[in-house]
Amino acid sequence: MGETGHPELACGIGSWDSDVYGNHRILVRAAATERTAPAVAAELPWRRQDPDPGAVDVIVIGPSGERVRNTVAVEVTDEAGRIAFEPTDGPGTYAVHYLPYAHTGKPYYPQAAYRPPTRTADPGWVHRCGLHDATGWEKLPRAEAVAYEAASAVDSFAPLGFAATEDERARLQQAYGGEQFLLFGEDRAHPLGRYERLPARWALATPFAPHDVTADRGEFHAVQVGVYALQELTEVRAEVRGLPFSVRCVSTGGIDARGRAFERRVTVGAGRAAALWFGIEVPEDAQHGLYEGEIAVGAPGVPERVLPLRLTVGRDVVADGGAGEPWRLARLGWLDSALAQDDEPVAPFTPIEAVAEDGGQRLSLLGRTVEVGPQGLPRRIVSTFTPSVTRADGPPRDLLAAPVTLDIGRPLEHGPLSLDRLGPARVGWSARAAGRDVVLRTEGELEADGFLVVRATVEATADTELDVRLDVPVREEVARYAMGLGLTGRACPAAYDWSWDTPTRNQDAFWLGDPAAGLQLSLRDEHYARPLNTNYYREKPLRTPRSWAGDGAGGVRLRTSEGVRGLCAFSGPLALRAGESRCFEFRLLLTPFKPLEPARQLSERYFHAYASPTEIAEYGANVANLHHATPPNPYINDPLLGADALHSYTEEAHRLGIQVKVYDTVRELTRHTPELPVLASLGDEIFAPGPGGGHAWLREHLGGDYVPGWVAPDVGDVAVVTSGDSRWHNSYVSGIERLRRVVGVDGLYLDDVAYDRTTMKRVRKVLAASGDRPPLVDLHSCNQFREPDGFASSANLYAELLPYVDRLWLGELFDYDGADGDAGGDPAYWLVEISGIPFGLMGEMLEGGGNPWRGLVFGMTARAPMTDVRPLWRAFDQLRLPEAEMTGWWATGTDAPAVRTGRDDVLATTWEGPGGTVAALASWAGEPVDVVLDTASGPVAAYAPAIEGFQPERRFTAGEALRVEPGRGWLVRLG
Question: Is the Cβ–Cβ distance between 849 and 945 less than 8 Å?
Answer: no
Measured from the Cβ of residue 64, the count of other Cβ atoms closer than 10 Å reads 11
- Alpha-carbon distance of 172 to 727, in angstroms, equals 36
Longest CA span, the chain: 106
- Alpha-carbon distance of 324 to 555, in angstroms, equals 51
Name the nearest CA neighbour of 297 among 278, 272, 310: 278
| Per-residue confidence (pLDDT) for residue 829, from 0 to 100 | 95
Q: Which alpha helices (H) appear in 322-419, and where do they start and end?
A: none
For residue 479, what are the contacts with CB-CB under 8 A and spacing of at least 6? 492, 512, 513, 514, 518, 565
Upper half-sphere CA count for residue 281 (Cβ side, 13 Å):
10
Question: Is the Cβ–Cβ distance between 674 and 193 less than 8 Å?
Answer: no
Measured from the Cβ of residue 413, the count of other Cβ atoms closer than 10 Å reads 8
pLDDT in tens, 289-327: 999 999 999 999 999 999 999 999 999 999 999 999 999
Q: In what order do the strands lie in the sheet with 916-923?
A: 885-887, 906-913, 916-923, 969-974, 942-944, 954-956
pLDDT in tens, 932-973: 999 989 999 999 999 999 999 999 999 999 999 999 999 999
Question: Is the Cβ–Cβ distance between 817 and 607 less than 8 Å?
Answer: no
Q: Would you say the pTM of this structure is higher than 0.75?
A: yes
- Alpha-carbon distance of 388 to 888, in angstroms, equals 6
pLDDT in tens, 790-827: 999 999 999 999 999 999 999 899 989 874 445 668 99
- State the DSSP string of 546-602: TTTTTTTT-EEEEEEETTEEEEEEEEEEEEE-TT-EEEEEEEEEEE--S---HHHHH
Q: Is the pLDDT of residue 2 over 60?
A: no
**Bridge partners (DSSP) listed for residue 109:** 106
Name the nearest CA neighbour of 959 among 937, 936, 941, 971: 941
Name the nearest CA neighbour of 261 among 721, 800, 676, 730: 730
Beta strands in 230-365 (DSSP E): 237-241, 246-249, 253-255, 261-263, 273-281, 289-299, 302-321, 353-357, 360-365
Q: How far is CA 279 from the centre of its chain?
A: 26
pLDDT in tens, 172-220: 999 998 999 999 999 999 999 999 999 999 999 999 999 999 999 999 9
Name the nearest CA neighbour of 288 among 324, 318, 316, 314: 314
Task: Give residue 564's pLDDT band: very low, low, confident or very high (50, 70, 90).
Answer: very high
- State the DSSP string of 678-694: HHHTTTTTTBPP----S
Upper half-sphere CA count for residue 261 (Cβ side, 13 Å):
2
Give me the percent of the chain exceeding a pLDDT of 70: 99
pLDDT mean over 607-612? 98
pLDDT mean over 255-265? 96
> Element (H or E) spanning 697, and its range?
helix 696-702
Q: Is the pLDDT of residue 152 over 90?
A: yes
Measured from the Cβ of residue 553, the count of other Cβ atoms closer than 10 Å reads 14
- One-letter-per-residue 3-state SS of 647-660: HHHHHHHHHCCCEE
Q: Which alpha helices (H) appear in 869-971, and where do they start and end?
A: 870-878
Cα angle: 871, vertex 874, 879; to 5 degrees:
125
- Alpha-carbon distance of 859 to 601, in angstroms, equals 8
Question: Is the Cβ–Cβ distance between 276 and 297 less than 8 Å?
Answer: yes
Phi, psi of 174 (to 5 degrees): -70, -40
Q: How far is CA 738 from the centre of its chain?
A: 19
